[in-house]
Chain A
């Protein structure tokens, strides 16, 4: 099976988004010190509290060491050789509408299939596009404003809603949280800010598309989503980067806050450049994502499809503080060629009757190393807490690896926690069964892989589900038929 040509074709397709946009940029010289932090803050015209917050993070970061516990091997990162700010040059302070955005930028997003033009209403998705360090455009602003929804770039939020930022920024992922989150807190450049007021159901899906373009830069975006009492939002995130021989660092932080009866659905299709077949180049994707269910009956759902990046280090988690709150994590992670993924989730149960579900599917191919690392922690206050975890791994090839490191820590005797996992290759029996019914080998493999991932794909919004399936090169038709 491992020698199967179609299977190799399936997992060996080239990176589709590796082009570079030739655009004039303003880029800070490489290096990191307090001056760089102050400069970024000055460029963004930030209030004093934010500058101080950044500096506090930077000083703390100097005292930290890179974490080494992940099941990955990475070349050491020279943090002084990275440029911490790069932005496309604009004539004025910022584009007032899409007409003022550089056409080459718009072309880039057209190539990527991101609907920036509001005329693409059929897509029905409001998009914030982040190019290197800054947001270049946000669509459907008017319609969202009518509903009371704030959806803007982080830079805009700093100017227009500083009180909300001061209240929520760092309240879920504190600046001292970990090495990469701390670095992000010091140098983050842009990102998205979402606020859904009380009782509002966001009229459309929100989406941010991240693109790294410039060489020798890192991307440190920050996303903050606050869903006030009784509100609902579905947020999508996508990302790509050019093919380069160097490793580029992406260290983002995402914070979600859900108040009473609120619901946040956060979906990611991560397709950063994974490096070539020999592991040269690719993005180091070291991301901290965490949601806090602060209110009663709140719900946060993470869905991720991880196909890109040379190294992925990412554990989207939920802190279930409110009574009856619910955390969910659905993940498909593919590690092909020399990719390494150490990903999973953390579910921290604090409130009574909190529930969490974890479904993780790992696919390893070539020399890829895929690790699921998950923590389910039930504190003594979490009366009647419930967790179910399922993590399965599929191996394609005798040189890849699939690893599972779950942590189950329970301090309340009324809690019930269940974890189950399996690791296997594509079953010869399943394949034979399909083949002897006249299904081609390619369709059979597609069908089996699709069936393996189905429980995650069904959690994705439709547009992303299609993109995710394309990324995994799996045809849905076979499975549906």
Chain B
């Protein structure tokens, strides 16, 4: 492997204070080779049914699999030009050097598309997804990570997106990795005038996961909703750093995070919003909440605001606590088993994020995913 352009982050780096860097330092980033045809066939057979109304693209170990994907008219091989916002360049540069393939999605003016990207990791991969929405375009993108391998997989994913003038972008990510997986991702979003973007993420599984995201309101009146949830169990570590820069007037950002740390896991989230002097009339809201359910679990949250103009309305709230004993007692007194009652309350906790989903297909997919982590919650909800 060639030498890297930057040094690996350390715990002294504020952006990486809570990430499991020892785990990352041990990870092997040498990329896997292209999977053989029989492996592709086996994976294709194991994939869930495609979502109705969505085109499907499958990435296996960072390679776009034409066999498993539905033909897409709007993938492009032209590089999408994106300015670099990201100050944490280590894993981004690693991806650039070692990526095997780049999935490029371009939605033309006033076109509307729905796409499902399935990411499968069997070894070590550096998948790259570049997205460009032209003026007035609409894209609903579901990105699902499937834990089809029990091995200690390593994934270093990069997503770039430019959301054009008055375009609408909805990105729903279900990061469900295998228990030994190490998952690092870097996301960059550029938001043009009048655009509206919604971001959802549910992270479960993975020995360690780290999301580094940078979003910039480049155009006036753009809006961004960032809803994320992470469920940690065992000794998992889930960490996210999300920086949102307001560089144009009248932009809005709503950021929500819900984390549940069980057993000995660690869940952390840093939301950093910056409003520049040339971005008056900004509106920023952050709500970061964590639930600790494990005796040795840890939660760390940092809702950060950096405001450089007075014409702004910004607020943030953060809480860390336990399951409300009164609520638990209420459910138990109605004959709901303790595990189901506990799962139901956790479900309610993360539903602050989930209810923002507008697409029923995506919602069903996420609820299905959650049911495996919170057993009994669906049954308790429906009263069966």
Contacts and interface: CB of A to CB of B under 8 A. Distances in A.
Contacts of A410: 290, 292, 298-300, 320
B305 interface: yes
A397 B310 contact: yes
Nearest to B306: A403
A71 B307 CA distance: 12
Given A413-B292, A413-B293, A401 B320 contact: no
8 contacts: A378-B320, A395-B312, A404-B305, A409-B299, A410-B298, A417-B318, A420-B317, A425-B311
A1 B303 CA distance: 29
A405 B317 contact: no
Contacts of A378: 320
A405 B312 CA distance: 17
B312 A423 contact: yes
A447 B321 CA distance: 36
B315 A422 contact: yes
B111 interface: no
B319 interface: yes
A412 B292 contact: yes
B96 interface: no
A409 B300 contact: yes
B136 interface: no
A415 B321 CA distance: 6
Given A380-B296, A409-B300, A404 B322 contact: no
Contacts of B322: 413-416
Contacts of A71: 306
A84 B289 CA distance: 48
User: Chain A's interface: helix, strand, loop or mixed, by majority?
Assistant: strand
A416 B317 CA distance: 14
Contacts, number: 111
Given A400-B310, A418-B321, A419-B317, 18 more contacts: A393-B307, A395-B307, A402-B305, A404-B303, A404-B305, A405-B304, A408-B301, A408-B318, A408-B320, A410-B298, A415-B292, A415-B320, A415-B321, A419-B316, A419-B319, A421-B305, A422-B314, A423-B307
B294 A413 contact: yes
A411 interface: yes
Please provide the 5 A-B residue pairs with the shortest distance between their CB atoms, ordered closest to farther. A395-B310, A413-B292, A423-B314, A419-B318, A425-B310
Interface in A403-444: 403-425
Interface string B11-25: 000100000000000
Contacts of A403: 304-307
B312 A424 contact: yes
B308 interface: yes
Contacts of B290: 410
Contacts of B303: 404, 406, 419, 421
A424 B314 contact: yes
A49 interface: no
Nearest to B309: A398
Contacts of A395: 307, 309-310, 312
B298 A409 contact: yes
Nearest to A387: B320
Contact of A408 (B14, B277, B302, B308): B302
A159 interface: no
Interface residues of A, number: 37
B318 to A, nearest CB: 4
B163 interface: no
A408 B14 CA distance: 14
Interface string B271-296: 00000010010000000001011111
Contacts of A399: 277
Contact of B302 (A405, A414, A417, A418): A405
B296 to A, nearest CB: 7
Contacts of B109: none
A171 interface: no
A421 B297 contact: no
B317 A421 contact: yes
A401 B307 contact: yes
B97 interface: no
Given A407-B300, A409-B298, A412-B292, A398 B316 contact: no
Interface string B100-126: 000000000000000000000000000
B313 interface: yes
A348 interface: no
A348 B145 CA distance: 39
B311 A423 contact: no
A406 B277 CA distance: 22
B316 A404 contact: yes
Interface string A290-331: 000000000000000000000000000000000000000000
B313 A424 contact: yes
A397 B315 CA distance: 19
Nearest to B316: A421
A2 interface: yes
A30 to B, nearest CB: 33
Nearest to A411: B298
Nearest to A394: B310
A380 B14 CA distance: 23
Interface centre among A378, A404, A412, by most B CB within 10 Å? A404
Contacts of B305: 402-404, 421, 423
Contacts of A424: 312-314
B250 to A, nearest CB: 15
Contacts of B302: 405-408
Nearest to B299: A410
